[in-house]
Amino acid sequence: MKLRIGHMLRSSLGNRAAGLVIRRLRKLTRTDHAARRKLLGRWVPQGALVFDLGANVGELTQVFVGLGAGVVAVEPLPECVAELHRRFAGGSPVHIVAAAVGAGAGTAMLHVGSISEVSTLSPAFREAYGDQAGVDWSETVEVTTTTLDALIAAHGLPAFAKLDLEGHEPAALAGLTTALPALSIEYNARLRPQALACIERLEVVAQSEKYRWNFSPYESYELALPHWLGAAEMRAWLSALPMATQTGDLYAELDRQRT
């Protein structure tokens, strides 16, 4: 979820035209592709399995493929699922799952955002960001839901999982009982309690193992902390993070991943 680009465009151009301009602006302002490969390659060696949860149109899916990974791209929004099929058709190592990830299997109502990236199952997300210019959720669509445990049972344990679920990350982790070797979780300043809840949930899932944590500011693909932190330290650091740091990504890896 990145709400800072192009909000004013929607009032003057309309949703469809503005969307095209916004996507172009994002392409022009994104961090060098090599920075993504360098950071994500830490956990994604050739032949690894990756879960891209909240794949949208597959921007990071493509990065994972470029690293030589097989990818399970999970996305509930029908228009984005169609784009994923178009983009990764024919021999691609990408398995597309048209579903949302949550605490249980079934169906749920997805609130479709005026920008596809902000479509969400989370009422807290809509409440927190409903004041953003050009952002609304005027439509809903019923989508299938699955769990991380079900995805692991079907496809295997991933080396890395990316969670970008617009405030629904705690619910997704509630459907996980197996420790993932490494993962990223989107951070939004207005939903800081959700980020803290994710840290706590992963400590429960890890049981006798421990995760260590770091943070990457919005689209930098650089780790902000020189040393990885334990869960309690990360909660304290995150609680003190200024609201000016609006978005970013939490990165977690099991201690056994590094010696």
The reply to whether 228 falls in a domain is yes
pLDDT greater than 90 at residue 164: yes
> What's the confidence (pLDDT) of residue 255?
86
Mean residue pLDDT of the chain comes to 89
pLDDT tens string 82-141: 999 999 998 889 999 999 999 999 999 999 999 999 999 999 999 999 999 989 999 999
Domains of the chain: total: 1
> What's the confidence (pLDDT) of residue 257?
55
The reply to whether 27 falls in a domain is no
The reply to whether 4 falls in a domain is no
Q: Which of residues 70 and 19 earns the better pLDDT score?
A: 70
The reply to whether 176 falls in a domain is yes
Domain that holds residue 111: 32-257
Task: Give the CATH number for residue 89.
Answer: 3.40.50.150
Task: Give Cα 14 distance to the centre of its chain.
Answer: 27
Q: Please give the share of the chain, as a percent, with pLDDT higher than 90.
A: 82
pLDDT tens string 225-236: 999 999 999 999
> What's the confidence (pLDDT) of residue 33?
84
The reply to whether 17 falls in a domain is no
> What's the confidence (pLDDT) of residue 91?
85
On the CB side of 115, CA atoms within 13 Å amount to 28
Tell me how far CA of residue 123 lies from CA of 7, 17, 120, 130, 169, in angstroms: 21, 28, 8, 10, 12
The reply to whether 19 falls in a domain is no
The reply to whether 134 falls in a domain is yes
pTM: 0.88
pLDDT greater than 60 at residue 21: no
Strands 247-254 and 211-217: antiparallel
The reply to whether 13 falls in a domain is no
pLDDT tens string 23-68: 443 443 455 789 999 999 999 999 999 999 999 999 999 999 999 9
